[in-house]
Structure 1
């Protein structure tokens, strides 16, 4: 569940090593009880879609330059997140009970970390593509529509997968974890700068990976990085808000169990004398 604040902050709060309930990572928000089966079904579908998009991207754009693009970094992280979530759900199905402790198993912590970075980065990739990179003329020679559907898959359906995981699960979102997706974004920005300094090019021989992030124009590239970092923080805050609303609604409407208790019988002794 979403953590709003705490009076004290520990290292375990900053990292992904502890949580009140392990079931938050394998039970769906939209179910009673803590059975892992409903979310397992959802995660099987999400992992299949993510793997399908990744294979589609690899087969359609296979080249030595495939690993340099942020879109493809995001696809790898999204696929790893869905697969790790599937592992968490599968282990929960196979394992009847979990030890009651706030310390999380390593595979749960791994999933949580990937969740934190993959969801926000999928959304920022979608926003950046459609706001900065999309050009309708790119599809003029796309006779079979392959490029169009590749862009739809990697810059729209990717975010649908990420949002479905957020809405279907109970995975906690903590404001203190904002640095995790941000660090990946800044890491990629540093990579593009180093790639430029090493005379790297894109697939067409241009001295940049993305034209809007051309380090030959350092001021503009720096502004793009700063704006993207701010946008990523805003998106992470929105994901936190979405998870907060998810938990509030599901707890009040779905997870709250009302007990119909029988009327308490009158145990007072009848002092009347039966005649």
Structure 2
């Protein structure tokens, strides 16, 4: 498959390059026939809002430090992603025809979807695989139930969104979650050089991302970025299998097959 300069540009920038050729219809339905996306997006939103309020109420530090952590960024993105997903599902009759491109709120939902799912997977693996095993570990979630909600159930609910949705996931959108990670990295750098401390008075947000040790931190960040890209590839793979199963099941071929290589 030969890439044009246009496709390469969309890959590098992460722009939704083919939205003018994209139909709104797959964004408003489930891959499971006539089941409405509201059946899972509303419970996800309720869950996310509940956990967000719960975690803010029992946060171990000052409230203004709550959004120091990527876990809480990820939770906020689940709230945004499910909110826009609900809006898209409810407003399906008013969606613009594909001839004129996807409406802004469908594009916004798609970008949030592309970011939130792999980032949720990353947060779960990063937390249990790195932070919990770190020699300098701190107690990020004193409540064990809340700990599982923030770092385990987050991936489970996003997996439900991924498996039940009908719209495509594209390999060329890998830059979108990486931009999210880059924004968080930039935030952590600015916070460190501004003299920011964590709730325990440490000069870092996460012990494995300590900018007073730049070489070690850059290794962690590089490996994390590669793993996040892998999580995006996994997301695309699951979506491709999902769509293949739906297409095979649907004798009328009303499902949309996931073309991962389309920009």
Structures share a fold, TM > 0.5? Answer: yes
Q: Give the distance between the partners of 2:251 and 2:57, measured in 1 at CA.
A: 47
2:37 aligned to which of 36, 39, 42: 39
Checking the alignment, whether the CA contact within 8 Å between 1:67 and 1:73 is kept in structure 2 is yes
The question of 1:185 aligning with 2:187 is answered: no
Q: Could you list the runs of 5+ residues in structure 1 that have no partner in the other structure?
A: 140-144, 259-275
Q: Give the distance between the partners of 1:250 and 1:240, measured in 2 at CA.
A: 15
The question of 1:26 aligning with 2:22 is answered: no
SS of corresponding position for 2:212: coil
The question of 1:170 aligning with 2:166 is answered: yes
Distance of aligned partners of 1:146 and 1:18 in 2 relative to their CA distance in 1, 3 Å threshold: farther
Checking the alignment, whether the CA contact within 8 Å between 2:169 and 2:236 is kept in structure 1 is yes
Task: Measure how far apart 1:68 and its partner are.
Answer: 0.8
Q: What is the aligned length?
A: 243
Checking the alignment, whether the CA contact within 8 Å between 1:20 and 1:102 is kept in structure 2 is no
Bigger radius of gyration among the two: 1
1:228 aligned to which of 224, 230, 233: 224
Distance of aligned partners of 1:12 and 1:26 in 2 relative to their CA distance in 1, 3 Å threshold: farther
Checking the alignment, whether the CA contact within 8 Å between 2:23 and 2:97 is kept in structure 1 is no
Give the aligned CA root-mean-square deviation in angstroms: 2.5
Distance of aligned partners of 1:105 and 1:228 in 2 relative to their CA distance in 1, 3 Å threshold: same
Checking the alignment, whether the CA contact within 8 Å between 2:209 and 2:217 is kept in structure 1 is yes
- TM-score, normalising length: structure 2: 0.84
- TM-score, normalising length: structure 1: 0.81
Distance of aligned partners of 1:19 and 1:83 in 2 relative to their CA distance in 1, 3 Å threshold: farther
